[in-house]
Chains A and B, each alone.
Chain A
Amino acid sequence: MANVEAEAVDFEPEEDDLMDEDIGDGSASSPNRGANAPRLKSAITGGLSSSAPKKTKGRGFRGEASTEAERNARMSGRFDSLDSDGGPGPERSIEGWIVLVSGVHEEAQEDDLQNAFGEFGEIKNLHLNLDRRTGFVKGYALIEYENFEEAQKAISEMDGTELLTQSITVDWAFSKGPFRRRNMRRRSPRGHRSRSPRRRF
């Protein structure tokens, strides 16, 4: 298992995966499953696997071993990150706190965001990116505040409000740790899953 482990990255099974989990070889348990970070099987290994539950498409599934080995080499090095305790909650960025606004109207201007979000604190940085094809706003904005409190206030007061007739969502952009696995582990289907063998696809 270990060498498969090193190269393949798997997902949480979906609901439809759960149905056929019990069909497995019955080997007792997969207690460590929850301890691993969620991983995705590389396309190149994934496509040829007969048990792949997904509809696959593309030349990337042709499975050139050299391509895959190269990719593993590329992604196996050390990645820098800011110091973080890995716990829950928002993560501070190097110079402040970043907030994501989504649902931004395609004709919004920077001034519209300045006016709406400037009242919670000085906006140190504002990225209002454009759709490369249409030239209109892509639909999101990233805003940097210097202090946690400013960002927190912007989120709690602006999330779910309207900006230029569109409802916006406002949330932290960065998190101290993974979100999915933590939630999954606490959910009841875990008990059901634990009977089945560790699934590879």
Chain B
Amino acid sequence: MAGMEENDEFYLRYYVGHKGKFGHEFLEFEFRPDGKLRYANNSNYKNDTMIRKEVFVTPSVLKECRRIVSDSEIMKEDDNNWPEPDRVGRQELEIVMGNEHISFTTSKIGSLMDVQTSKDPEGLRIFYYLVQDLKCFVFSLISLHFKIKPI
């Protein structure tokens, strides 16, 4: 089955967070197969309110998300040689597309320098840019729908 088939299953979840003096601060979003987009952002700095939003997106939006993932070729990568999550933070990217299911974890990536000096710069670079592109997509959707600033 081709990865871009419209009726293929698709699920995506991204998490980034850490535990520090402001508690557990994190950002997480997921696209579910039925179109439900969930977004959660918990920052205890200044105001300790958790933002949790959900909205159903159309198949077209899910398809675009899948295209972004597919074009990135992230499914070919492996997190074996990526930096392990640490005290500074943790990232998780879970994607189901067609008959593949990835669940990658790594530390926070501060800049491209972290990518360059890692043991798998090619793979980590793909992850690094994909995450930014996905965040950008989700932030646009959430901010347009709810008129909030996602971060």
Contacts and interface: CB of A to CB of B under 8 A. Distances in A.
Contact of A175 (B54, B56, B94, B141): B56
A43 B14 CA distance: 12
B144 A179 contact: no
B55 interface: yes
A16 B1 CA distance: 10
Interface in A94-113: 94-95, 98, 100, 102
B145 interface: yes
Nearest to B34: A178
Interface in B10-65: 11, 13, 15, 26, 28, 30, 32-36, 38, 40, 42, 50, 52-61, 63-64
Interface string A30-45: 0000000111101110
B87 interface: no
A175 B58 contact: yes
A37 B34 CA distance: 7
Interface residues of A, number: 67
A11 interface: yes
B35 A94 contact: no
B120 interface: no
Given A60-B104, A131-B133, 7 more contacts: A11-B9, A37-B36, A78-B52, A132-B132, A142-B141, A173-B61, A180-B35
28 contacts: A37-B32, A40-B33, A43-B103, A52-B101, A55-B99, A56-B103, A57-B101, A58-B94, A60-B94, A60-B103, A61-B103, A71-B15, A74-B26, A79-B38, A79-B53, A80-B52, A80-B53, A81-B54, A94-B145, A95-B147, A98-B145, A102-B64, A129-B133, A138-B136, A171-B60, A175-B35, A176-B56, A179-B35
Interface of A: 9, 11-12, 14-16, 37-40, 42-44, 46-47, 52-61, 71, 74-75, 77-82, 84, 90-91, 93-95, 98, 100, 102, 125, 127, 129-133, 138-140, 142, 144, 169, 171-181
